[in-house]
Amino acid sequence: MTAEEVVSEGCSIPVEGEDITPKKDGGVLKMVKKEGTGTELPMTGDKVFVHYVGTLLDGTQFDSSRDRGEKFSFELGKGQVIKAWDIGVATMKVGEICQLICKPEYAYGAAGSPPKIPPNATLVFQVELFEFHGEDITDEEDGGIIRRIITKGEGYTKPNESASVEVWLEGSHEERVFDERELKFEVGEGESLGLPPGVEKALQSMEQGEEALFTIKPKYGFGTAGSDKFNIPPNATLQYKIKLKAFEKAKESWEMNTVEKLEQSAIDKEKGTQYFKEGKYKQASMQYKRIVSWLEHESSLQPEDEEKAKALRLAAHLNLAMCYLKLQEPNPAVENCDKALELDANNEKALFRRGEALVGMKEFDRARADFQRVSQLYPANKAAKSQIVLCQKHIKEQHEKDKRLYANMFQKFAERDAKKEAEQEKEEKKPNGSAMEIDENGAQEQTAA
């Protein structure tokens, strides 16, 4: 039976079908008109694409996506459509066409939807499911982490950065399970436990008790390096099944008073230092970033607290700069040195580290200026003097390279111009076509005379 044949069936609609409501109260009756393919059904949160025709029990049509010529899409189980649809479409396979008879409490209720749907109306929908796919939970919406919910969680809150979480997870690659365990940790510490960044991003999208499947692309997985520990090759797409058993949110900035922010900042500074000593620069940087986010715009500080906050912020920016240098990311290193110098204009570490970052960016003139300033302010700093010599060497090499480049460039220009001149001279020596004709005519006239 084709979709058109299903839609154009008669208007006499008997109230029959399988009760598919969880309560088994007869609120949604389903009758399959055309079987779908495969075994997979859409899950909560999946984006589904359907065509539908909606009628009243007497056959009066009130809506049709087919008449509009455009498929209708929505996220399943999110309350974006009437209850009957969230229940009914969840039971369908791709290619399936079914009839859903929906009692008022699963449709538009006592109010109806004037003017087309009267109060307390039982509705009939013929629905065809074309496709469905999981929810993209990345900030960039680049398809890097796709979620499919197996069991919906409870409540509306989700773990935040530094939340304490208790999870069960199973990681697989090409149907091989490479990681299965129960863990308790703070969001932000996952890398030290061998978890890819995508897992922590996934956790921050989940509700308590939720179980979900996540497809994680290499950018959010183990990247171009892969994982020797789990025998994962470079650029591998991973699948993780995760259950968020319990969590406790970390306090947000607005939930903390000044004393709490200062205390927590001191704790995070110690944590960051420990991570740094272990060579875990990303985790360290996350701790330092929290200090900045809490204290950067704190305006209700007492004079004695202001100095503590300033010292913590300065340390955070200096340490962030060092983390970024270790991670070979010079741009954010420079940004954090600039922030540190706003707090302490002649800070030795900030000037030196900015110089190092600028060397990494091959901005040797600016780098030399920073090292010279360090050397002037802190004459005992021998490393700065060594860096000045290195910068001067790089600058000289760059000048020599530029000279050769420009010399070659000017030589090419000169050769090109000489070639053009030679071609022009050659062209000028050629007899002109029209002049030749005149000479020939003249010669002919003389002969004739």
With contact defined as beta carbons under 8 Å apart, do 84 and 104 qualify? no
Q: Are 53 and 121 in contact (CB under 8 A)?
A: no
Amino acid at 42: P
Structure tokens at 52: 């539908």
Sign of the C-alpha dihedral computed for residues 127, 132, 134 and 139 taken in this order: negative
Q: What are 105-113's contacts with CB under 8 Å, separation 24+?
A: 105/27, 106/21, 106/27, 106/28, 106/82, 107/82, 107/83, 108/82
CA distance 396 to 178: 53
Check 62, 178, 185, 230 and give the catalytic one.
62
Indicate if 62 belongs to the active site: yes
Selecting among 63, 136, 305, 344, the annotated active-site residue is: 63
Query: For this structure, is 413 an active site residue?
Result: no
With vertex at residue 160, the alpha carbon angle to CA 157 and CA 161, rounded to the nearest 5 degrees, is 175
Instruction: Examine the residue annotation and report whether 150 is marked as an active-site residue of this protein.
Output: no
Where does 234-297 show beta strands of DSSP type E?
Answer: 238-248
Catalytic residue among 86, 87, 101, 108, which? 108
Active-site annotation holder among 46, 101, 117, 125 = 125
Q: Report the greatest alpha carbon distance in the chain.
A: 123
- From its phi and psi, is residue 150 left (phi > 0), alpha (psi between -120 and 50) or beta? alpha
* Calpha distance 304→310 (Å, rounded): 11
Residue by residue, DSSP assigns 61-106 as EEEEHHHHTS-EEEETTTTSS-HHHHHHHTT--TT-EEEEEE-GGG
Check 52, 222, 276, 324 and give the catalytic one: 52
Does residue 52 have an active-site annotation? yes
Q: Is 270 exposed, middle or buried (0-12, 13-18, 19+ CB in 10 A)?
A: exposed
Q: Is the peptide bond before 119 cis (omega within 30 degrees of 0)?
A: no
Measured CA angle at 120 (ends 118, 124), to 5 deg: 80
Burial status of residue 132 (CB atoms within 10 A of its CB: 0-12, 13-18, 19 or more):
buried
CA end-to-end distance (rounded Å), the chain: 101
267 catalytically annotated: no
Q: 291 CB contacts (<8 Å, ≥6 apart)?
A: 265, 268, 269, 272, 312, 313, 315, 316
Q: Is 352 a catalytic residue?
A: no
Element (H, E) at 425: helix 382-429
Closest listed residue to residue 323, CA positions, set 335, 312, 308: 335
Active site residues: 52, 62-63, 82, 108, 125
